[in-house]
Amino acid sequence: METFGRRRVTQRAHFSPARFVHLQQIFVYCHLVTMYLLFHYYVLRPIPSDSLPLVELKEDPDPVFDPRERDLNRTELQMVLGDFDTRFLSVAPPQARYTGSEELDGSDAQQSPTGLMPRDIRALDFDFQFGKKRKASKKLKRRLQMWLWSHSYCPVVYTWNDLGSRFWPRHVRVGSCYSKRSCSVPEGMVCKPAKSTHVAILRWRCVQRKGALKCAWIPVHYPIITECKCSCSN
């Protein structure tokens, strides 16, 4: 058909190879984001763990209940308690920062996961379907695994606490769960205690008997958080 001496030409849509690759990259990105959200809700979303609060001991502030210098003989107390783990207990004030591999500050906890990567993340399938099924490269798979791990893991942050003169050893290295960020996407879940252990220490205990104050060192178990997991905030 001609109009004013010119032929009407119908143009066909043409996709260049570069445009096809761009659309393919967008599809892969959307697929991975969707898979990540499903991963959090159906794989990483755990059943809320039992609460593991550290019970605060209420002490009478009256100094009459404090041990005297003769009650703090290290040799005698060592015989009563026996050997203790110096990683978690210290008689003298410990250094400001423990140099062991388990110690984490805020920036370390947020950026550098430690230990073994969770099995659920290692087992994830990052292959995607776009016409023909394509397999993610080892490098891409590793980067995605590390990204998922860094956003969902819950480290234990250790600090030294001074329990006071009524406990021996008085310095205990306790754990807490990193709480400066959410451990889920979308945000909402937080790191909470999941497991704990205990260490044996001595506590100075005084009771009134027949009008007189009787005091002695008694062994007690002090709980220490050893593992945190991503759980519902409430």
Whether residue 94 has pLDDT greater than 60: yes
Residue 114 has pLDDT above 50, yes or no: yes
Question: How far apart are the C-alpha atoms of 151 and 154, rounded to whole Å?
Answer: 9
The pLDDT score that the predictor gives to residue 127 is 65
The pLDDT tens digits of the residues spanning 36-78 come to: 444 443 343 333 334 454 455 677 788 888 999 999 999 999 9
Tens digits of residue pLDDT in 141-181: 788 878 877 778 888 999 999 999 999 999 999 999 988 88
- What is the spatial distance between Cα 149 and Cα 138, in angstroms, rounded to a whole number? 16
pLDDT of residue 69: 93
With pLDDT > 90 as the criterion, what percentage of the chain qualifies? 29
Domain boundaries, the chain: 15-231
From the list 116, 131, 183, 138, the residue with the least C-alpha distance to 27 is: 131
Closest to 175 in 3D by CA, of 195, 189, 203: 195
pLDDT-above-70 percentage for the chain: 65
Q: Which fold has domain 15-231?
A: Cystine Knot Cytokines, subunit B (2.10.90)
Q: 3-class SS at 113?
A: coil
Q: What are phi and psi of 113, to 5 degrees?
A: -65, 145
Q: What angle do CA 9, 11, 16 make, to 5 degrees?
A: 150
Tell me, what's the pLDDT at 73?
Answer: 94
Rounded to whole angstroms, how far apart are CA atoms 151 and 36?
11
CA dist 36 → 54, 139, 168, 188 (Å):
34, 18, 48, 15
Position 122 scores a pLDDT of 76
